[in-house]
Amino acid sequence: MAEHTIKAFDEDIDRLRGLIAEMGGRAEAAIESAMTALQRQDLVLAAQVVADDKRIDAIEAEVEKLVIQVIALRAPMANDLRDVIAALKIVGVVERIGDYAKNIAKRVPQITANQRTLEPVSLLPSMAQVASEMVHDALNAFAARDADLAVAVVERDTVVDDFYNSVFRTLVTYMVENPKTISECAHLLFIAKNIERIGDHATNVAEMVYYAATGQTLPDRDRGGAAAEE
Amino acid sequence: MAEHTIKAFDEDIDRLRGLIAEMGGRAEAAIESAMTALQRQDLVLAAQVVADDKRIDAIEAEVEKLVIQVIALRAPMANDLRDVIAALKIVGVVERIGDYAKNIAKRVPQITANQRTLEPVSLLPSMAQVASEMVHDALNAFAARDADLAVAVVERDTVVDDFYNSVFRTLVTYMVENPKTISECAHLLFIAKNIERIGDHATNVAEMVYYAATGQTLPDRDRGGAAAEE
């Protein structure tokens, strides 16, 4: 590429990275707010999380537009092209993470303020904290092309899976003992599942970062979680 | 583009479409087999669905490689470039549909052969049938750039959501009356949710097809389902 094209390309890439960082920050904030809304039974905050998700979707659309523009105008070479396509894939994953946070928030009104019902899920906030940190670190690993940090994210996914297994068993036991709470507990089960999926998606991002940085794939760990409660 | 480049580009696009059609066919087959495995408690078939998902993932990787190659070698212009990027997005969605089918199959061994437990979910196979047809039609709409068919897919998503709401209520009632089945019913709840998500993803594909064919977006229906059981 001519020098001015390289400069323009670098500026585009900077803007792309900025958008992804903003999107990641918003997704993390959405997870945190959704969990706060759940714990405090704060319906206003829950509605806010649902509304804010539109901004995450809008950033994804913006990234997509920018990627097409970068490819069309700058005709990046193989490696740069792969980076740009990787950015597109990563925003797709972050958008899904935002959706999971939104889904958690949407369930808040369906779980009535009943201290006893919420008692069995004291693990959920800590579980969400780990998942949210994984999202944070996965995007930091992407920004810094840090393969070691990416590996650390992938390894932490078992923590989230272990949390999920505990929550699943605790909730099932609680439902058996308190059949009146079954409907609410079912929503809590889905919330636990959503958090578990956030961990999976952070892991996916970390795996993409690792591959981009090293050219190697990490050994297959066969996550995907649906049977994680085994 | 020079004429030979156009011809090569068209051949690449044909190959791309062929791969997407194959992937879609495999995803549909996976949904069907997963449901058959569930109904017949066929653990061998369930394991087969899980194993076959690797082929769907492999096709996604192949499409991604081909897309990068097409962009790098053929330098498609704006509209063609958008089509190629759309293909990349669509295979991402089909890959997720395959994952949902795999997740259903993974739960089969966790649901013990108990005719009474399966009784409340007589709706699941019909629900899966509608979702699977949506996937089929969404990919046909993509292949034929058929905006009307895409609209029909989007409209059918409410059928799947209605099924889901019925299954959710039926299962909760069943759990209350039969606390011993709670753990199995929880798995069935997740299966229902997976099918509901397949419908959502087919809808996403249809929305992309509609946008590509008309340049318009369909009115926002705010799906995403987590609160569909309201």
pLDDT by residue (tens digit) across A193-212?
A: 999 999 999 999 999 999 88
| Residue (of B46, B35, B85, B49) closest to B64 by Cα position | B85
Quick check: A103 and B226 CB within 8 A? yes
What share of chain B in percent tops pLDDT 70?
90
Structural domain range at position B133? 3-214
Best-predicted range by mean pLDDT (A10-14, A213-217, B186-190):
B186-190
Q: Which two tokens stand for residue B62?
A: 């192949």
Does the residue B126 lie in any domain? yes
B107 with A227: Cβ contact below 8 A: yes
Yes or no, beta carbons of B226 and A182 under 8 Å apart: no
**Encoded tokens for B172:** 């909760």
Please indicate, yes or no, if residue A222 is contained in any of the structural domains. no
Q: Residue B162 CA to chain centroid, in angstroms? A: 18
Would you say residue A207 lies in a domain?
yes
- Tell me which chain A residues have a C-beta less than 8 angstroms from the C-beta of B77: 72
**ipTM of this predicted structure:** 0.85
Counting the structural domains of chain B, the total is: 1
Amino acid identity of residue A141, one-letter, is A
Q: Tell me the mean pLDDT in the region B172-200.
A: 94
- A205 domain residue, yes or no: yes
Facing A99 at nearest CB: one of B75, B92, B224: B224
Tokens of B214: 């008309």
Q: Of B68, B176, B230, which is closest to A182 when you measure between CB atoms?
A: B176
Residue B223 maps to a domain:
no
- The CATH number for A155's domain is 1.20.58.220
Tell me, yes or no, whether B226 lies in a domain. Answer: no
Give A105-153 pLDDT, tens digit per residue. Answer: 999 998 875 656 566 678 999 999 999 999 999 999 999 999 999 999 9
Q: Phi and psi for A126 in degrees, rounded to 5?
A: -65, -40
Tokens of B145: 């750039």
The answer to whether position B45 is within a domain reads yes
Q: Do B68 and A82 touch (CB under 8 A)?
A: yes
Give residue for tokens 């996403």.
B204
Q: Is residue A168 part of a domain?
A: yes
- Of A63-67, A177-181, B47-51, B161-165, which range is least confident? A177-181
> Are the C-beta atoms of residues B140 and B149 closer than 8 Å to each other?
yes
A1-59 residue pLDDT tens = 667 677 888 899 899 999 999 999 999 999 999 999 998 889 999 999 999 999 999 99
pLDDT tens for residues B67-85? 999 998 888 888 889 889 9
pLDDT (0 to 100) of residue A75: 86
Nearest CA in chain A to B66: A82
Q: How many whole angstroms separate alpha carbon B43 and alpha carbon A211?
A: 34
Q: What mean pLDDT do residues B93-111 have?
A: 95
